[in-house]
Amino acid sequence: MLKNRIIPCLDVKNGRVVKGINFVDLVDAGDPVEQAKIYDQQGADELCFLDITASNENRSIILNTVKKTAEKCFMPLTVGGGVRTLEDIRNLLLAGADKVSINTAAVNNKNLVKESAEKFGSQCIVVAVDAKKIKENKWEIFTHGGRKSTGIDALKFAEKMEKMGAGEILLTSMDRDGTKRGYDLDLTKKVSNLVNIPVIASGGVGSLDHLHQGIKIGKANAVLAASIFHFGEFSIQDAKKYLDSKGIPVRI
């Protein structure tokens, strides 16, 4: 049976790990390669690096981080942040990323997802959907790390990205990110039911039961969290044991 995945995410800035509260007030806390090795040993199902300020800054540092991580960790690695061109995707794949997550550029350049899926295969193209609730049952896409509204409906966008060739959706609630109040379960469930590609729930995890809710209520195929793992509150094993005790299929 296919297991639900637990994905620790490291937000990386200038080669260092940070975790933002609503994407501001960054707290510096460690070397991403060392942190990745710990998650690997703990049995994380995948790793995710998000280069959070990469839209504006030098990109070469993250390539080096990816390269060093891929040399030590023999597990799937997704990298996102500041991915704008086919060349960016190619460089990340060559550095050792297995999947590349596209956010702002998927909104601004309609063909990037299509072209990259054709060139590198859908299996390595993740579209990061950053959504904010604007009214009941209505979510809008935000780009540039949540700073810029687009007026685009999040559900329609997710569906369109699937058609364009995305292999997976990384769905982040911008309302919940950094709040520790749990995933936006309505949003997660709506997107998961709508698309026929895997959905990763993201944004807002503050307890192990939030992971459980993301899978059970939100119908996500994978759950992503940053700070609860990063600051040592819980290990990956703690999360898996908890989910197992709730009857959720996980790899132990």
Partner 1 sequence: MSITVIDYGSGNLKSAAKALETAANNINLTSKILVTSDPKKIKQSDKIILPGQGSFRDCYLGIKKISGLSEALNEFVLEKKKPILGICVGMQLFAKTGYESEETKGFGWIDAEVRKINNMNKKLKLPHMGWNEIELKKDCFLFSNIKNKSHVYFIHSYEFKTKQKDCVVATTNYGNSIIVSVVKGNIFGTQFHPEKSQKNGLVILENFLKWKL
Using the rule CB under 8 A, is 221 a contact of partner 1?
Answer: yes
By beta-carbon proximity to partner 1, the closer residue of 70 and 107 is 70
The yes-or-no answer on residue 153 being catalytic is: no
Q: What angle do CA 52, 8, 36 make, to 5 degrees?
A: 85
- CB under 8 A: which stretch of 28-36, 49-57, 177-185, 191-199 binds partner 1? 191-199
Closest CA to 19 of 182, 203, 148: 203
Report the distance separating Cα 87 and Cα 85, nearest Å: 5
| Contact in structure between 186 and 138 (CB atoms under 8 Å) | no
Closest distance between partner 1 and the C-beta of residue 216, in Å?
17
Binding residue for partner 1, selected from 60, 87, 136, 196, defined by CB under 8 A: 196
Q: Name the catalytic one among 11, 45, 177, 184.
A: 11
Tokens read off for 39: 């998650």
Q: Which is nearer to partner 1, 69 or 227 (CB)?
A: 69
Among 64, 85, 108, 123, binds partner 1 (CB under 8 A): 123
Burial 77-116 (b: 16+ CB within 10 A, else e): bbbbbbbbeeebbebbbebbbbbbbbbbbbbeeeebbbbb
Phi first, then psi, for residue 129 (nearest 5°) are -105, 110
95 near partner 1 (CB under 8 A): yes
Is 40 designated active site?
no
The answer to the question of residue 36 lying near partner 1 (CB under 8 A) is no
Verify binding: residue 166, partner 1, rule CB under 8 A: no
Please report how close the Cβ of residue 117 comes to partner 1 at its closest, in angstroms.
9
Residue count, binding to partner 1 (CB under 8 A): 34
The one catalytic residue in 40, 51, 130, 175 is 130
Q: What is the widest separation between alpha-carbon atoms in the chain?
A: 46
146 near partner 1, rule: CB under 8 A: no
Stretch that binds partner 1, among 11-19, 31-39, 196-204, 230-238 (CB under 8 A): 196-204
Look-up of token digits 């998961």? 192
Cα 146 to Cα 142: distance, rounded to the nearest angstrom: 5
Burial of 212 (0-12, 13-18, 19+ CB in 10 A): buried
User: Does residue 94 bind partner 1 (CB under 8 A)?
Assistant: yes
Residue type, 176: R
What's the chain's Rg over C-alpha atoms? Answer: 16
User: Taking CB under 8 A as the rule, does residue 60 contact partner 1?
Assistant: no
Binding mask 72-91 for partner 1 (x = CB under 8 A): --xxx---------------
Are 229 and 13 in contact by the 8 Å Cβ rule? The answer is no
Residues at the contact surface with partner 1, assessed by CB under 8 A: 1-5, 40, 43, 45, 67, 70-71, 74-76, 93-98, 119-124, 167-168, 196-198, 221-222, 251
Which positions are annotated as active-site residues?
Answer: 11, 130
